[in-house]
Amino acid sequence: MGVLGTALYLAFHPNQLRSIIQWKVWHEPVHHRDPSKETPTMRSCFHFLNMTSRSFAAVIQELNPDMLVPIALFYLVLRGLDTIEDDMTISASTKEPLLREFSKYMRTDGWTFTENGPNEKDRELLVHFDDVIVELKKLNKSYYDIIEDITIKMGNGMADYALNAEFNNDGVKTVKQYEEYCHYVAGLVGEGLTRIFVEGKYANPALLDRMELTESMGQFLQKTNIIRDVHEDFEDKRRFWPKDVWSKYVDKWDDLFDPKYRTQAVHCSSEMVLNALQHADQCLFYMAGIKEQSVFNFVAIPQTMAIATLELVFQNPKIFHSHIKITKGDACQLMLQSTQNLQVVCEVFRRYARRIAKKNDPRDPHFLDISVACGKIEQFIETLFPSQDAKKVAAVQDVQGDKADNNDITEALILVGVVLLVLLVISGLMLGAAWYLGARFDIMWDKHAAETLKAAKAAAKATTTAIAHEVHEEL
């Protein structure tokens, strides 16, 4: 997208433009790198860091000064290793010893490598690798030993794959091989970073006892990249999606990229996304063990980018005919949120998990499993940051309890009042009816009238008796 296209896009997507402006204007790095205090070879290292990875370079250069140089050099060493492994113009016979012996070249003054193909984008790093070696030798020995150990492990793993003719011709076959490959190219990176963080006292040492958390950090990033880059890898004749997965949907690997099999291809990608989602909750668990803000930013930003990318590629057939990525505006928003705290990062994961769940298609064979995976992410976040605080709930219940007691008393008084009112009305009606029928209520209070009425009643009774007697005698 050119400058004009970008301008038009931002004009019709103001939220994207706002996120970009907010990041540019309001983002304040926790730490600032000071090039004026660096040696020429160190400045050269940061030049190649910026050249090989703009996204990682920006985050690395905001790290705590104690972590800045070890992490930058660690990245450059692994990028150099990866540049050799990725270059398809280098024969396996040349590549294999280079990968296995790379840790030795790290200690060799003046070593460089100029045999990369002319189109290898990071070849200049190896052409000037002697600058990296100079700075590596200045490192604290504990940091150097960690970098060397990871380089040995990764170099041997990459060499094994370089010599694997079956892998080179047919790609990854099983899910186990797929995860093993992700371990060598990303899981080991997470292990090295964790050891460096703990050595510098910027992470909880307990993370070293839970290496599955570290592994998940690397696996989540690498698997997301492999899913997103499937078309680019297809054009480069590389296959990282396991045959055990894609062969369920199509007969030939090339069929995934044939529009006739688009539905099958999307279902296949759903299974790949499902495989990646299983690591999400452990990534959040890992981040809870980071003690320092700049280190937290460094590990959180790639993870939020990954969950957003998974949402982008999910149920998206474009990945089979083009290279897609999240927009710059979304990336800026994610970086703003990822540089705050774990609770905000959890909200990012929750938001994108819900978007994935919303995009989930009931016709997809993995509909139920993906729904469960998204629910698992939300459930884990709820254990870290409950949506209802127990203390607040108890306080509300206490207040509601007091109100309920007061309400009970009020309701009882109202009920008694209503009963008395009803009795009063009924009594009034009965008395009124009695008065209407001739009842003399006035004599209840007049003693003379009462005695007169009593005498009249007695006289009437005597007269009635006399009359009855006379009638009887006549008969």
Residue 324: Cβ within 10 Å count? 14
Say whether 54 is catalytic: no
pLDDT of residue 20: 76
Kindly name the residue from 102, 167, 220, 298 that is annotated as catalytic.
298
Cα–Cα distance measured from residue 97 to residue 79, given in angstroms and rounded to the nearest whole number: 17
Cα–Cα distance measured from residue 332 to residue 17, given in angstroms and rounded to the nearest whole number: 10
Kindly name the residue from 181, 249, 349, 352 that is annotated as catalytic.
181
pLDDT of residue 168: 63
Residues forming a β-bridge with 203: 290
Kindly name the residue from 33, 100, 210, 238 that is annotated as catalytic.
238
C-beta of residue 84 within 8 angstroms of C-beta of residue 90 = yes
Cα–Cα distance measured from residue 252 to residue 247, given in angstroms and rounded to the nearest whole number: 7
Q: What single-letter amino acid sits at 380?
A: F
Measured CA distances, 280 to 129, 137, 365 (Å): 36, 37, 21
- What is the DSSP code string of 150-217? HHHHHHHHHHHHHT-HHHHHH---SHHHHHHHHIIIIIHHHHHHHHHHHHTT-B-GGGGG-HHHHHHH
Spatial CA neighbour of 284 closest among 330, 331, 326, 338: 338
Spatial CA neighbour of 82 closest among 216, 188, 179, 213: 188
Cα–Cα distance measured from residue 130 to residue 105, given in angstroms and rounded to the nearest whole number: 10
pLDDT of residue 366: 96
Residue 304 in 3-state DSSP? helix
- CA 370 to centroid of chain Cα atoms: 15
Say whether 228 is catalytic: yes
Angle at which helix 65-86 crosses helix 293-313, to 10 degrees, equals 40
C-beta of residue 74 within 8 angstroms of C-beta of residue 193 = yes
Hunting for tokens 């009638």 — which residue is that? Answer: 471
The answer for residues whose C-beta is within 8 angstroms of residue 193's C-beta and 6 or more apart is 71, 74, 214, 299
C-beta of residue 89 within 8 angstroms of C-beta of residue 237 = no
Kindly name the residue from 56, 79, 144, 228 that is annotated as catalytic.
228
pLDDT tens-digit map of 323-366: 988 888 888 888 888 888 999 999 999 999 999 999 999 999 99
Measured CA distances, 417 to 178, 403, 406, 412, 423 (Å): 79, 21, 17, 9, 10
pLDDT tens-digit map of 88-124: 888 888 888 999 999 999 999 999 999 888 888 889 9
Spatial CA neighbour of 286 closest among 338, 342, 229: 342
Q: How many residues does the chain have?
A: 475
Cα–Cα distance measured from residue 316 to residue 327, given in angstroms and rounded to the nearest whole number: 15
C-beta of residue 367 within 8 angstroms of C-beta of residue 273 = no
Hunting for tokens 């990875």 — which residue is that? Answer: 53
- What is the DSSP code string of 391-415? HHHHHHHHHHHHHHHHHHHHHHHHH
Is the full-model pTM beyond 0.85?
Answer: no
C-beta of residue 154 within 8 angstroms of C-beta of residue 187 = no
Say whether 181 is catalytic: yes
Q: What is the pLDDT along the chain (475 residues), one digit of tens a residue?
A: 566 666 676 676 777 778 778 767 777 777 888 888 889 999 999 999 998 876 778 889 889 999 999 999 999 999 999 899 888 888 888 888 999 999 999 999 999 999 888 888 889 999 999 999 999 999 999 999 999 999 999 999 988 887 775 666 678 899 999 999 999 989 999 999 999 999 999 999 999 999 999 999 999 999 999 999 999 999 988 899 999 999 999 999 999 999 999 999 999 999 999 999 999 999 999 999 999 999 999 999 999 999 999 999 999 999 999 998 888 888 888 888 888 899 999 999 999 999 999 999 999 999 999 999 999 999 999 998 887 655 655 655 665 655 555 666 777 788 888 888 888 888 888 877 877 777 666 655 556 655 665 666 666 666 666 655 554 555 5
pLDDT of residue 475: 52
Say whether 355 is catalytic: no
pLDDT of residue 300: 94
pLDDT of residue 90: 86
Q: What single-letter amino acid sits at 407?
A: N
